[in-house]
Structure 1
């Protein structure tokens, strides 16, 4: 037991060091790089304020858009913002940028650990698993997007993908109900971290697990294979049920958001994923940059990286020309992993427009490079299989040299950050609308804490009489209103169909959208003459909330019973 604890402690320290090195271009804690990072830091600040208000789970940004409860977390990544908000609140109260970085680092550390566990599950080789895990973390794709985009939620999802894949494979190898429960939790973590990465990882891992299960059914031809596959399917379904409070509104009303309107055909952006870039051994921009038109261009270099390409190619070579080197399970795993690798590579590359033949749901990807995590997890596992075949005996020197080679190869993709960096105040961070709006750099530093509450300007009765007596109690808006004749009252909360709870004198009332003179669509109610006490709260879709709540209660009850049973043995 002590030896096992030492092993995992050593692995944890190892991955902490690897991830720390990965973040070396973002070493400064008071200067935010250009590109998207500044928006994510602002939303971490808003998340902390939401937690202060008692939002569990996070749904709205408390003081964005004049405090009208913009439901940013209902439609994008509540889990990483919750973790980031907690770190900012309790550990880095003077610097939300540090909290943002530490959240990404924490996710990637877990990603390294679980990628190691996944590779070890397939290869039973700690040496191959360790080197392969470093290939995953030090992949050019992760380096490029961390450094030159600052992709907060996507970076966190790269840490969750190995957890979901590990949970699924563990359930496949031992489909007992306890594994089904943990598989569901693993998919919840990914679903609430990044919906696009979740969608494609769900599709590709489901294909992989289904192929493995169908192969077993073909070989064994017994009913147990069908029962096992149904249990694994329950794991996928449980993950969706646990996260339905988030996925439900996203599926039904995600088209209302700005991102929902912007679903271009990914073929418009395939210049970023041309075959030359994908196969490049070093950092190379996919096209020349016009700095006059784009002072802060995305300088991303999307490459698979030669360590992964060469090792995956070695597996392919043996599959085609020398399949006898593989045992039964190794051959099965290698064939289906290589199939996932090739399909995902083709989708990222997109040499011709096959997207127009796919269901519209696939357009959510926007850019084909967002499928790249599927190349990463399948290519990493192929790399582990190849390393095991190359070096049959465990050797610490080989492990050291392997990690060194991967590190040197990754170093070819680390480039200096250039552009207009941000030294901005917290006021500036939280007062902007946020995602994808241009933010001008301010002379103030980022240090400081935010504790102020929102003010609600521009709330009217029939666009004439301002509603002055409004306040906020936790997540609930409270307004005392008096009208002398039939009136339409605009409330200080953005309109969201089916997702608001509005009560008038203690009774629920239907609401409707009201467009103000500002670019906001607020919730409105129709009131006859009288005095009213009105409350308004964003609650999400009731049916999705209930399904998630029931799933969590049943899961907690099952895990508790399992622990009691084990304690009695």
Structure 2
């Protein structure tokens, strides 16, 4: 009932809470159902996104939430995906609170203290921020799974029963395939908790067995999720999100987590203007958790002895007392310690995400604090007062509903938009300048976000002011080629002062001084249609080191900083290339291809004038199975603006082509064997238990 009440800001079934990323994640859920109906299992490809070009968002981002959400939408709420979305979030709140309750009861042996611990977790300020203000669907589901993982880690640590190892492995798998950031830092913080427990325990053979069981369960979780985790580990270095992680430190986001706000008793925005990255996002610890930490610290550090029932929990209390302030300090990040950490840890993106670890440690401390304050004399009166205090203390983190986007609007066009549509594009370098291939628009180091998505979605030519460090690096053409740049598109006139000229400029790879203007285009016209030869005479003074050159489009006019003329491109290609490096472009092949289930099937006719075929499928190396006329074939990336699409080099003639996204075959096989092993062990254990119960019954 309390979990339902905490879903209050999402009460409407027709208008979504649309200030954060709710719209994007609702679109993900809708596409999750589409993927299931295609026959995908597990989910890997978003069928609708990026004009159906087989975008592998589910392979790299999240699977469990959209698989379960898609199933609920298909079979339980077939007319309203938002209801399925809300059921998933309600379940995360409920399950997260339930397993904190179970763990707290295990540790404190007190039902009332455990209920208060569970309630404090599900109503934690950051949990409510994640569900409502941020609309971070996978992270909210992960916050519901995290207590399951911790519960079974403790069970595995304290008991030799094999079924706890199996359940712990499955919990780790569920967390990994739900939200990779929560999985990474959950692994780290649970590891720190384990280290603190080891420091307070004698180093015995029993301890080694305990650690072995926990380690086996963690490794088993990796094996179960190998089909998902290995592409993330091995292939994500080529995707767009990795460029974000490598360039932007979480330290730059600490303006959203000033200490005063983190310790505030009510929800407050991080700046006096009331502005944040999204409406209602007010990261805070919550006074309930702060008070619990203070109470437990006082009793633990004072001369007072712990109650007899908590004496066995001495090591857990010690660990939680350190975990809580550590997570709080990292959230605050008052000094830049991030620059000495591996860049892979920058994956967290925002420091406020560490409040997740304040949540679970603080919630368990609530259980201990209740016992310590009331000396095990807790009753229903204490429970009622505790519930009221927790709900009242955290109520201000339930934002007033705000939004105007309807569920039907999202159903009509279920795109991720800037919240995911370009995060998992493969960015492998294309080492050949292909004729007829639409050229990339953005600089090679672009990072995903509003601006980059807008450029890609609207195909905006990247124009710059003079001396601005922004360009695209491209491979140099061959000596036998006669490249001509074709530039056609619409000029948005209200963005262009009069008169304005666009300078097409070629630069050497490492020198801004060595450059040549090879073309000038007036922008004071509704459309542009230019043919610009890249002649050896014009470029004879340039040296193209490493077989690369830089291409830049400079506005010749004084324009205020931040303003740019907008040119919406229809055609941005090189012509005049050799037949071997001229493509049959997507605009032609998309009509020769069809989708049948998870397979892209094409019947393509290749002539002498173009030997490379560009297919309507995004390029992901080693994760696609491509067949030409029934035989496996090598494939490579070919540009279609800023997308890398699958390219094939074919002989003249008619060809039947098949493309399937399969992930990493070897990782799939490991996961398959791991799941068979878990199922076999579980069946064996259950069979043995049934036999034992039958024998006991016969004896009676």
The more displaced of 316-325 and 50-59 is 316-325
TM-score (norm 1): 0.88
Equivalent residue, structure 1, for 2:224: 242
Over residues 80-115 of structure 1, what are the superposed CA-to-partner deviations in whole Å (9 max), with x where a residue is unaligned? 011111111112222212211111111221111111
In 2, are the aligned partners of 1:172 and 1:209 still within 8 Å (CA)?
no
Equivalent residue, structure 2, for 1:463: 585
Please identify which structure carries the higher strand content: 2
Equivalent residue, structure 2, for 1:103: 88
Decide whether aligned partners of structure 1 residues 514 and 175 sit closer, same or farther in structure 2, where only a CA change above 3 A counts.
Answer: same
Q: Which runs of 5+ in 2 are unaligned?
A: 421-448, 455-571, 573-581, 693-700
Over residues 282-329 of structure 1, what are the superposed CA-to-partner deviations in whole Å (9 max), with x where a residue is unaligned? 1111113377xx8x8433111111111101110011122235225432
How many Å apart are 1:226 and its aligned residue?
Answer: 1.1
Match runs of 1:299-314 below 5 Å: 299-314=280-295
SS at match of 1:324: coil
SS at match of 1:31: coil
Equivalent residue, structure 2, for 1:57: 42
Match runs of 1:153-302 below 5 Å: 153-216=138-201, 218=202, 221-263=203-245, 264-289=248-273, 297-302=278-283
Equivalent residue, structure 1, for 2:538: none
SS at match of 1:334: helix
Aligned-partner Cα distance in 1 for 2:601–2:653: 17
Aligned-partner Cα distance in 2 for 1:354–1:313: 26
Equivalent residue, structure 2, for 1:324: 305
TM-score (norm 2): 0.72
SS at match of 2:200: helix
Aligned-partner Cα distance in 2 for 1:490–1:415: 48
Aligned-partner Cα distance in 1 for 2:384–2:588: 70
How many Å apart are 1:493 and its aligned residue?
Answer: 0.7
Equivalent residue, structure 2, for 1:500: 624
Aligned-partner Cα distance in 2 for 1:322–1:54: 64
1:513 and 2:637 aligned: yes
In 2, are the aligned partners of 1:38 and 1:422 still within 8 Å (CA)?
no
Aligned-partner Cα distance in 2 for 1:290–1:379: 28
Please identify which structure carries the higher helix content: 1
Match runs of 1:82-93 below 5 Å: 82-93=67-78
1:335 and 2:457 aligned: no
Aligned-partner Cα distance in 2 for 1:135–1:431: 33
Equivalent residue, structure 2, for 1:137: 122
Equivalent residue, structure 1, for 2:365: 382
Match runs of 1:421-440 below 5 Å: 421-422=405-406, 424-430=409-415, 435=420
Aligned-partner Cα distance in 2 for 1:425–1:362: 34
Aligned-partner Cα distance in 1 for 2:405–2:600: 37
Equivalent residue, structure 2, for 1:393: 377
Q: CA RMSD in A?
A: 2.2
In 2, are the aligned partners of 1:75 and 1:250 still within 8 Å (CA)?
yes
Decide whether aligned partners of structure 1 residues 24 and 431 sit closer, same or farther in structure 2, where only a CA change above 3 A counts.
Answer: closer
How many Å apart are 1:367 and its aligned residue?
Answer: 0.7
Aligned-partner Cα distance in 2 for 1:383–1:503: 59
Aligned-partner Cα distance in 2 for 1:159–1:479: 43
The more displaced of 542-551 and 207-216 is 207-216
Equivalent residue, structure 2, for 1:414: 398
Over residues 501-522 of structure 1, what are the superposed CA-to-partner deviations in whole Å (9 max), with x where a residue is unaligned? 1111222111100012x33210
In 2, are the aligned partners of 1:187 and 1:239 still within 8 Å (CA)?
yes
Decide whether aligned partners of structure 1 residues 328 and 548 sit closer, same or farther in structure 2, where only a CA change above 3 A counts.
Answer: same
Over residues 482-516 of structure 1, what are the superposed CA-to-partner deviations in whole Å (9 max), with x where a residue is unaligned? 32347111121100011111111222111100012
Equivalent residue, structure 1, for 2:458: none
SS at match of 1:502: strand
Q: Which runs of 5+ in 1 are unaligned?
A: 1-16, 441-457
Q: Which has the higher contact order (CA 8 A, sep 6+)?
A: 1
1:348 and 2:331 aligned: yes
In 1, are the aligned partners of 2:88 and 2:141 still within 8 Å (CA)?
yes
The more displaced of 248-257 and 478-487 is 478-487
How many Å apart are 1:425 and its aligned residue?
Answer: 4.5
Aligned-partner Cα distance in 1 for 2:274–2:371: 46
Equivalent residue, structure 1, for 2:7: 23
Over residues 397-450 of structure 1, what are the superposed CA-to-partner deviations in whole Å (9 max), with x where a residue is unaligned? 11111111111112233331346555624222248575265999xxxxxxxxxx
In 2, are the aligned partners of 1:160 and 1:190 still within 8 Å (CA)?
yes
Equivalent residue, structure 2, for 1:491: 615
How many Å apart are 1:265 and its aligned residue?
Answer: 0.9
Aligned-partner Cα distance in 1 for 2:16–2:118: 29
How many Å apart are 1:74 and its aligned residue?
Answer: 0.6
